[in-house]
Amino acid sequence: MLLDFERLAGLRPFLIGLTVVVCLFLILPIVFIAALSFGSSQWLIFPPPSWTFKWYQTLFSDSRWLYSALTSLKIAAIVTVLSIVLGFLAALGLNRGSFMGREALRALFLTPMILPVVVLAVALYALFLQLGLAGTTIAFIVAHLLIALPFSIISIGNALEGFDKSIEDAAILCGASPWEARLRVTVPAVSHGIFAAAIFSFLASWDEVVLAIFMASPTLQTLPVKIWATLRQDLTPVIAAASTILIAFTILLMVLAALFRKGRKV
Amino acid sequence: MVMSATTDGGQRTLRRDGSFGYVAPGLLLIVFFFVVPVLMLLMRSVLEPAPGLQNYVELLGSTTYLRVFMNTFIVAGLVTVVSVLIGYPVAWLLAIMPDRWSRLVLAIIILSMWTNLLARTYAWMVLLQRTGVINKTLLSLGIIDKPLSLVNNLVGVTIGMTYIMLPFVILPLIGVLKSIDPAILRAAALCGANKRQCFARVLLPLSLPGLAAGALMVFVMSLGYYVTPALLGGTSNMMLAELVAQFVQSLVNWGMGGAAALVLLIVTLVLYAIQLKFFNPNRAR
């Protein structure tokens, strides 16, 4: 009864009503920000008195915003590549290895994902200060790689679970070298896992705030750090414009991921 | 869990098939940039300014810092309770409603989850401010006479954090509720149980492990949250993660910063250990 949608009776309107409210609660703030980014009111009056593109003009004419967006893009791209390579190797080792402490090692690899990120941020900040690397691109890449890598290991590891290693062995028997077999047989076979790893790693770096706040210097900031610093001063609609671009980017990635999944089923 | 290495009957050795080599680059990264810096930070908490435990004595002995601990637990607890109360019915409906509709709701949940954290927090800062839409609407409807203060206080943090944590309760619960056989509930009804009894004595207990696991995860994640409490909370509801950041950034007190970080780390690890021990889905099978 309670688990039969058709026979919920009086409970059904309640559950549907609550779910609709929750959906609105989840979606409206996002729609609201997108709408305000085109509104003319400096004080974010809603509904806006008139519509304008001026906040986007401000955003795109300010070299600091552009530079921080490019910095974000560059760091996220490098982190994605490193995360896939290291993640593929680590997943391969964790998946096939029979060495001691394998499960403990898997847990160690995933720990940065579950720990409070502020602890990691403060610890890395101290280390980079001592190494003289604070405020450099390297510091950003290392910090973001630590939290991106677990996503790669999980995604690629799951894909490897479903891959029959004997196909790789067959390629080797047919004369391929072990690495040739891995690159030309295994990698294409787990490409969906690698694709997922790429998206998650990219987003992990692109959206990351806390580590970035500690790794940033006045001259080197990612987009989230720039938003954070601006937010602490005022709620200018320029942030709404920047947020809307980030949201559009997210939707684009989601659609890409959905299309990719659909393409695989066919 | 895959159990390998038992088939060949041989002893496990470190380099038996060279696969340890694949793990090495990642392991080096983790050791040098995760294990070592965290340990160094913890060392500093007992070495600076002088060797000893005075940082911990100060942290755990002063009422100022105790208030921060209290606040952290109050916010995390409140967010968890609200998320569970709202999330459970939604997950319940999602588990049984026709796929066509549940796919739409899931897309909305996932979209909000993937939206940049700062963009979402900014949205709530704007919505909840004194001249924001929520206050204006309530004023024009005549429900309130003067604007409510919804931001820079406990209300603001709770709304903003619940917004972020809700998907983490709903998504795992859907699977748990889907795995419950509807025939069990039909049986309960046939035996004379009314709706309330069916829920309280059959459905809820059967979904409790998934619910508890999700709730504990949300609680742990909330404990260590930094960005949203810093932007939506007031100075009087500072949370532990903010305290750690403040010690390091504004006060440049690495000893106290390290000590506060260790407290946060230990609480998190203990709660995770509880989660693994009691709610690990891999263990029971």
Confidence of residue B267 (pLDDT cuts 50, 70, 90): very high
In a domain, A47, yes or no: no
Structure confidence by residue, pLDDT tens digits, B212-234: 888 999 999 999 999 999 999 88
Would the ipTM clear 0.85, i.e. be above it?
A: yes
Reply yes or no on whether the pLDDT at B19 is more than 90: no
Residue A10 domain boundaries:
5-36
Specify whether A236 is located in the same domain as A145. Answer: yes
In whole angstroms, how far apart are CA B272 and each of A20, B2, B72, B219, B231? Answer: 33, 22, 17, 10, 27
Which tokens go with B1?
């869990």
Number of domains in chain A: 2
Q: Does residue B57 belong to the interface with chain A, where contact is any CB pair within 8 Å?
A: no
Using a CB-CB cut-off of 8 Å, the residues of chain B touching A3 are: 95-96, 177, 180, 182, 185, 203
Burial class (CB in 10 A: 0-12, 13-18, 19+), B146: exposed
Would the CB atoms of A124 and B33 count as touching at under 8 Å? yes
**Which residue segments constitute the domains of chain B, with CATH numbers given?**
65-279 (1.10.3720.10)
Same structural domain, A9 and A99 = no
B22 touches chain A (CB under 8 A): yes
Q: Is B20 on the interface with A (CB under 8 A)?
A: yes
Cβ–Cβ below 8 Å for A224 and B116: yes
A142 to B34: CB separation less than 8 angstroms, yes or no: no
DSSP code per residue over B110-142: HHHHHS-HHHHHHHHHHHHSTTSHHHHHHHHTT
pTM check: above 0.90 = no
Q: What is the pLDDT along chain A (266 residues), one digit of tens a residue?
A: 678 787 777 788 899 999 999 999 999 999 999 999 999 888 888 788 889 999 999 999 999 999 999 999 999 999 999 999 999 999 999 988 777 788 889 889 999 988 899 999 999 999 999 999 999 999 999 999 999 999 999 999 999 988 888 898 899 999 888 888 989 999 999 998 999 899 889 989 998 999 999 999 988 999 999 999 999 888 889 999 999 998 888 888 888 878 877 776 54
> Model confidence over B59-91: pLDDT tens digits?
888 998 999 999 999 999 999 999 999 999 999
CB–CB contact A118 B261 (8 Å): yes
B105-128 average pLDDT score: 92
pLDDT by residue (tens digit) across B148-176?
A: 899 889 999 999 999 999 999 999 899 88
Q: Are residues A12 and A120 in the same domain?
A: no
Q: Are residues A107 and A143 in the same domain?
A: yes
Please report, as a single letter, which amino acid is at residue B107.
Answer: A
Residues A27 and A72 in one domain: no
Nearest to B122 among A119, A203, A231 (CB): A231
